[in-house]
């Protein structure tokens, strides 16, 4: 009797496991987090209950070695605002950082660790997004050897990795005075000035001995003729397909693309489409548009991902 019962349990377990995961979706991603095929991936993402309609979706990003990279919740199956706790991990499985989100923004206390498991940082998101540099407050910071460098918001920050070095002062939890950073891989260095958390100015020094001053840490890419010109171009050049007109299709196509360092639109894709040939038309029009002013980070041109909706009406 025991033998028969044990056999029955073995038969039922795989069915139970399959039924719990049949609504999940797995997406394979390359090193740039672009969708790719299995085998060519560096990461993969599992969206729990993707094929069911819910308010929130649990998502887990994995390294190729099947260890989790990040666990989080979004209010959409294909993106959306973060909700609740977000935990990220190193590739060896050690915890990297824990952050909490409320209404899509980080809030409250956060903690991060080094890859060897030693604690690195304790801080808090203040909710003050109106004042530049005041949304995050540093409380405690340790170097990798457990030396307590910042105590109750005051001290000298010193961080070094294989490709990056940064030093500067914290005063009452915020950056203050002159800060220096070196990008060892890109062979650039930066000097920046802060006033109680507020960024004042910065200078980047390039490997060819040239330099550039900047007044913003980050700038988003912009069409050379302005956003209104870009939207107007999309509206004038988007052609509805016969199938879309016949079926009276309306709604929004959500597209994503990258503005590269030269200011060109590359890697366009549809995040959520409407079908009937409209998704392909959206990509065609995006690629037809001219040059952009590329985004910058600390005075250096960078690739920047951009997302936008395209509203469709056949009336």
- The 3 state secondary structure assigned to 72-140 is EEEEECCEEEECEEEEEECCCCCEEEEEEEECCEECEEEEEECCCCCEEEEEEECCCCCCCCCCEEEEE
- Mean pLDDT for 222-232 is 92
Q: Check: CB of residue 121 under 8 Å from CB of residue 155.
A: no
Give the SS3 label for residue 287: helix
The rounded percent of the chain whose pLDDT value lies above 70 is 93
List the single range of 16-30, 57-71, 96-110 with lowest mean pLDDT.
16-30
Instruction: Specify which of 128-137, 143-152, 249-258, 298-307 reaches the highest per-range mean pLDDT.
Output: 143-152
Q: Name the β-bridge partners of 29.
A: 35, 43
The rounded percent of the chain whose pLDDT value lies above 90 is 71
Q: Kindly indicate the confidence band of residue 7, based on its pLDDT and cuts at 50, 70 and 90.
A: very low
pLDDT recorded at residue 127: 87
- Mean pLDDT for 125-140 is 88
Q: Check: CB of residue 150 under 8 Å from CB of residue 138.
A: yes
- Mean pLDDT for 243-264 is 90
- Mean pLDDT for 133-150 is 94
pTM, to two decimals: 0.74
The mean of the pLDDT values for the chain is 89
pLDDT recorded at residue 315: 58
């Amino acid at each position: 009797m025991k033998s028969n019962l044990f056999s029955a349990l073995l038969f039922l377990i795989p069915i139970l496991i399959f039924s719990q995961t049949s609504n999940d979706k797995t997406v394979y991603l390359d090193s740039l987090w672009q969708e790719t095929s299995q085998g060519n991936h560096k990461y993969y993402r599992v969206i729990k209950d993707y094929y069911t309609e819910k308010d929130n979706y649990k998502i887990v990003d994995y390294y190729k070695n099947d260890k989790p990279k990040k666990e989080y919740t979004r209010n959409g199956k294909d993106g959306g605002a973060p909700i609740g706790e977000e935990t990220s991990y190193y590739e060896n499985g050690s915890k990297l950082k824990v952050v909490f989100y409320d209404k899509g923004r980080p809030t409250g206390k956060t903690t991060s660790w080094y890859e060897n498991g030693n604690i690195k940082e304790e801080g808090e998101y203040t909710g003050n997004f109106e004042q530049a540099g005041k949304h995050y407050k540093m409380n405690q910071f340790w170097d990798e050897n457990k030396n307590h460098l910042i105590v109750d918001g005051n001290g000298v920050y010193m961080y070094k990795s294989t490709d990056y070095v940064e030093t500067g002062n914290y005063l009452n939890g915020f950056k203050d005075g002159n800060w220096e950073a070196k990008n060892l891989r890109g062979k650039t260095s930066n000097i920046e000035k802060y006033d109680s958390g507020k960024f004042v100015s910065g200078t980047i020094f390039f490997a060819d001995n040239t330099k550039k001053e900047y007044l913003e840490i980050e700038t988003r890419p912009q069409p050379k003729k302005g956003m209104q010109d870009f939207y107007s171009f999309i509206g004038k050049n988007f052609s509805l397909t016969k199938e879309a007109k016949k079926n009276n299709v309306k709604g929004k196509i959500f597209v994503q693309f990258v503005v590269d360092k030269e200011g060109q639109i590359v890697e366009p894709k549809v995040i959520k489409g409407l079908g009937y040939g409209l998704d392909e038309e959206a990509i065609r029009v995006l690629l037809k548009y001219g040059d952009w002013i590329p985004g910058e980070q600390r005075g250096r041109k960078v690739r920047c991902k951009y997302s936008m909706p395209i509203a469709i009406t056949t009336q």
